[in-house]
C-alpha cells in the first residue's frame, strides 16, 4: 500500500500533472501547520482564561468550545464568498490569500495575551482557511471527468498525512522550556509556552505561500471566469437556501444528508471536549495528559485514518455493501465515543483500542456515506452540486454548533457529582450516533431497489 502511494505521488511529477503535485505539497504543508495547534489549543485557552481571572473550571473550559467554534464559524460564513471570488478572479490568487492569512494568524495566535484576541484571531484564521473549497475547484479545473474522483484523493491524502504529522509536531514543540530545554529554558519561553509551535506552523504556511507564488500556475483561464462575484450577504443566503432546499429532495437523499449532519455534530462535540477530559487531573477522573501526550494520541488517530481510508476501505467495499459499512461505522463510532470518559491512564493499550474504534468508525462512515449520496443523487437525476452543497451546508452548521453545545454541556456538568457529570457530553455523543443508526435502518435507497429488480 505504501509503494502504491509513493507511485501515486510520483505520478504528479510529470509535466501534465506537475501543478497537482505542487497543489498537494501546498495543501499538505498547510494542513500540517493547521493541525499543529490541536494538542495545545485547549491548554492555551485555559491559561488565558485563568490569567483573566476565570478560575471556575466550567466557565474556563467554556471558552475552549467558543474558540473552536469561532474557527469553524469563519469557514462557514466565508467559504461560499471565497469560492465565488475564485470564479471571478481565478483560483491562484485566492489560494495565495488563504496562505497569507494562515501565515499571519497562526503566528499571531501564539502571541495571544487575552481571550478576545485569541477568539478574533481564530475566527480570521477560519476565514482564510475557507480556501480549501478553492483547492477542490482547482482539481476540477485541470482534471478530465474520468480522472476527477481519483485526483480528489489528492486532498484526502494531504488531509490524512497532515493530521498525522501536525499534532505530533505540535505536541513535541509545546512548552519547550520544560519539554526541550537547552536554549529554550528561559523566562521568555515560559511566558509564551505555545509560541514555538505557532512559529513553526506559520513558517510552514510561509513555505506553502512561496511554493504557490512561484510554482503554482492558474487553473482557471480568463475566458472561463464568470466575471461576477456574489456579495457576502448573497453568499450567506445561498447557504441557508441550500439548507432549506433539502425538503425538496428525495427522502433518501434528505435522510443521508441528515445522518451525516448528526454524525458530524456528535463527532465535533467529542473533539471539543476530548482534550478537556484527557487534561483533567487523575483524581477528578481525567488522564492528566500534557499537550505532548495528546499530540501523540492525535497522531495515532491520523495514522489510523491514513491506513483505513488509504487502503482498508477499498478492500471492505469490494466485499461488503456500502450501506452495511456505513451502519457499522455509526455503531463503532457510538461505542468509541461513549467509552472515552471511562478510560484510565493504565493500561495504555485500552486507550489505543478505544481511539482505534473512533478512527475506524469514522473511516467506515465518511467514504461510504459520500458514495451512497452520489449514487442516489445520480439515480434521482438531481444536480450533484446542489446535493453536495446541501450536505456541506449542514455539515458546516454541525461543525459550528458542535463545539458550542459541548461547551455549554461541559460547563454545566464538569464539576457535578450527580448523575450528570463530565461523562454526560460523551453520553450525548453516543445517543446522537444511535439516533443516526435508527435513521439509517429506515433508509431505503432507490438505486439499490432498481438493482434488485434487474
Q: What is the mean pLDDT of the chain?
A: 82
Is the confidence at residue 25, as pLDDT, over 70?
Answer: yes
Distant-in-sequence, close-in-space partners of 45: CB < 8 Å, separation ≥ 6: 63, 64, 67, 115, 118
The answer to whether residue 226 sits within a structural domain is: no
The answer to whether residue 328 sits within a structural domain is: yes
6 band by pLDDT with thresholds 50, 70 and 90: very low
pLDDT of residue 1: 46
pLDDT of residue 430: 94
144 and 280 housed in the same domain: no
The answer to whether residue 451 sits within a structural domain is: no
Closest to 246 (Cα-Cα) out of 258, 236, 235: 258
- Note whether 166 and 29 are within 8 A (CB): no
Is the confidence at residue 10, as pLDDT, over 90?
Answer: no
105 and 5 housed in the same domain: yes
Domain count, the chain: 2
**Range in 69-73, 150-154, 375-379 with the lowest mean pLDDT:** 150-154
54 band by pLDDT with thresholds 50, 70 and 90: confident
Mean pLDDT of 144-159: 62
Count of Cβ atoms closer than 10 Å to residue 204 Cβ: 24
20 and 127 housed in the same domain: yes
166 and 61 housed in the same domain: yes
Mean pLDDT of 55-80: 85
pLDDT of residue 82: 78
The answer to whether residue 320 sits within a structural domain is: yes
89 band by pLDDT with thresholds 50, 70 and 90: confident
Is the confidence at residue 147, as pLDDT, over 90?
Answer: no
349 and 293 housed in the same domain: yes
Distant-in-sequence, close-in-space partners of 160: CB < 8 Å, separation ≥ 6: 302, 305, 306, 309, 310
97 and 172 housed in the same domain: yes
194 versus 163: the higher-pLDDT residue is 194
For the stretch 265-293, pLDDT in tens is: 999 999 889 999 999 999 888 999 999 89
338 and 379 housed in the same domain: yes
Question: Cell numbers 446542489 correspond to what residue?
Answer: 386
74 and 205 housed in the same domain: yes
For the stretch 112-121, pLDDT in tens is: 989 999 999 9
Top mean-pLDDT range of 132-136, 144-148, 340-344: 340-344
Distant-in-sequence, close-in-space partners of 390: CB < 8 Å, separation ≥ 6: 242, 243, 245, 246, 249, 257
Q: What are the strands, taking DSSP E only, across 190-305?
A: none
194 and 254 housed in the same domain: no
The answer to whether residue 393 sits within a structural domain is: yes
Distant-in-sequence, close-in-space partners of 221: CB < 8 Å, separation ≥ 6: none
61 and 159 housed in the same domain: yes
155 versus 316: the higher-pLDDT residue is 316
Residue that terminates a domain, selected from 170, 198, 216: 216
Helix ranges (H only) for 90-129 are 91-110, 115-128
The answer to whether residue 237 sits within a structural domain is: no
282 and 404 housed in the same domain: yes
Residue that terminates a domain, selected from 172, 200, 216: 216
- Note whether 354 and 278 are within 8 A (CB): no
pLDDT of residue 179: 85
Counting Cα atoms < 13 Å in the Cβ hemisphere of 425 gives 31
- Note whether 212 and 95 are within 8 A (CB): yes
Angle of CA points 388, 307, 129, to nearest 5°: 45
pLDDT of residue 5: 47
- pTM for this entry: 0.81
Nearest-angstrom CA–CA distance, 331 and 328: 5
Mean pLDDT of 309-332: 85
Percent over 70 (pLDDT), the chain: 84
Question: What are the DSSP calls for 206-235, one per residue?
Answer: HHHHHHHHHH----S-GGGS-S----HHHH
**Residue 424's domain is classified under what CATH number?**
1.20.1250.20
The answer to whether residue 450 sits within a structural domain is: no
Domain with 155, as residue range(s), is: 1-216
Distant-in-sequence, close-in-space partners of 91: CB < 8 Å, separation ≥ 6: 134, 135, 137, 138, 141, 218, 219, 220
The answer to whether residue 370 sits within a structural domain is: yes
Mean pLDDT of 158-186: 86
For the stretch 367-420, pLDDT in tens is: 888 888 878 877 777 666 667 767 777 888 898 899 999 999 998 998 887 778
Top mean-pLDDT range of 115-119, 226-230, 301-305: 115-119
Determine whether 370 is exposed, middle or buried from the number of CB atoms within 10 Å of its CB (0-12, 13-18, 19+). middle
265 and 319 housed in the same domain: yes
Amino acid at each position: 500500500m505504501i509503494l502504491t502511494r509513493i507511485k501515486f505521488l510520483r505520478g504528479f511529477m510529470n509535466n501534465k500533472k506537475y501543478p497537482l503535485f505542487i497543489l498537494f505539497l501546498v495543501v499538505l504543508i498547510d494542513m500540517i501547520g493547521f493541525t499543529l495547534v490541536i494538542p495545545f489549543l485547549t491548554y492555551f485557552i485555559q491559561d488565558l482564561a485563568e490569567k483573566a481571572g476565570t478560575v471556575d473550571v466550567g466557565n474556563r473550559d467554556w471558552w475552549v468550545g467558543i474558540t473552536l467554534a469561532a474557527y469553524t464559524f469563519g469557514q462557514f460564513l466565508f467559504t461560499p464568498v471565497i469560492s465565488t471570488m475564485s470564479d471571478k478572479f481565478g483560483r491562484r490568487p485566492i489560494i495565495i490569500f488563504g496562505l497569507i492569512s494562515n501565515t499571519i494568524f497562526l503566528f499571531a495566535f501564539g502571541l495571544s495575551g487575552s481571550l478576545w484576541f485569541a477568539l478574533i484571531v481564530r475566527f480570521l484564521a477560519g476565514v482564510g482557511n475557507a480556501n480549501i473549497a478553492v483547492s477542490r475547484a482547482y482539481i476540477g479545473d485541470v482534471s478530465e471527468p474520468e480522472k476527477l474522483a481519483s485526483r480528489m484523493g489528492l486532498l484526502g491524502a494531504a488531509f490524512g498525512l497532515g493530521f498525522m504529522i501536525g499534532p505530533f509536531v505540535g505536541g513535541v514543540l509545546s512548552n519547550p522550556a520544560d519539554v526541550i530545554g537547552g536554549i529554550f529554558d528561559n523566562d521568555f519561553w515560559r511566558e509564551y509556552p505555545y509560541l514555538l509551535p505557532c512559529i513553526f506552523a506559520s513558517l510552514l504556511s510561509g513555505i506553502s505561500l512561496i511554493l504557490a507564488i512561484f510554482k503554482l500556475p492558474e487553473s482557471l483561464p480568463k475566458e472561463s471566469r464568470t466575471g461576477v462575484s456574489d456579495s457576502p450577504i448573497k453568499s450567506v443566503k445561498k447557504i441557508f437556501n441550500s439548507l432549506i432546499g433539502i425538503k425538496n429532495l428525495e427522502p433518501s437523499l434528505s435522510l443521508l444528508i441528515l445522518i451525516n449532519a448528526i454524525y458530524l455534530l456528535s463527532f465535533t462535540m467529542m473533539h471539543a471536549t476530548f482534550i478537556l477530559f484527557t487534561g483533567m487531573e487523575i483524581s477528578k477522573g481525567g488522564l492528566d495528559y500534557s499537550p505532548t501526550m495528546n499530540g501523540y494520541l492525535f497522531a495515532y488517530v491520523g495514522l489510523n485514518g491514513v491506513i483505513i481510508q488509504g487502503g482498508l476501505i477499498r478492500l471492505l467495499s469490494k466485499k461488503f455493501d456500502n450501506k452495511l459499512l456505513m451502519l457499522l461505522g455509526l455503531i463503532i463510532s457510538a461505542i468509541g465515543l461513549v467509552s472515552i470518559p471511562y478510560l484510565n491512564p493504565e493500561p495504555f493499550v485500552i486507550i489505543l483500542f478505544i481511539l482505534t474504534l473512533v478512527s475506524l468508525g469514522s473511516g467506515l462512515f465518511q467514504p461510504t456515506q459520500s458514495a451512497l449520496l452520489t449514487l442516489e443523487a445520480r439515480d434521482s437525476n438531481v444536480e450533484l452540486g446542489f446535493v453536495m452543497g446541501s450536505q456541506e451546508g449542514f455539515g458546516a452548521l454541525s461543525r459550528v454548533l458542535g463545539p458550542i453545545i459541548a461547551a455549554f454541556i461541559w460547563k454545566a456538568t464538569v464539576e457535578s457529582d450527580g448523575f450528570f457529570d463530565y461523562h454526560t457530553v460523551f453520553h450525548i455523543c453516543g445517543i446522537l450516533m444511535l439516533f443516526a443508526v435508527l435513521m439509517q435502518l429506515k433508509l431505503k435507497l432507490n438505486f439499490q431497489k432498481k438493482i434488485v429488480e434487474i
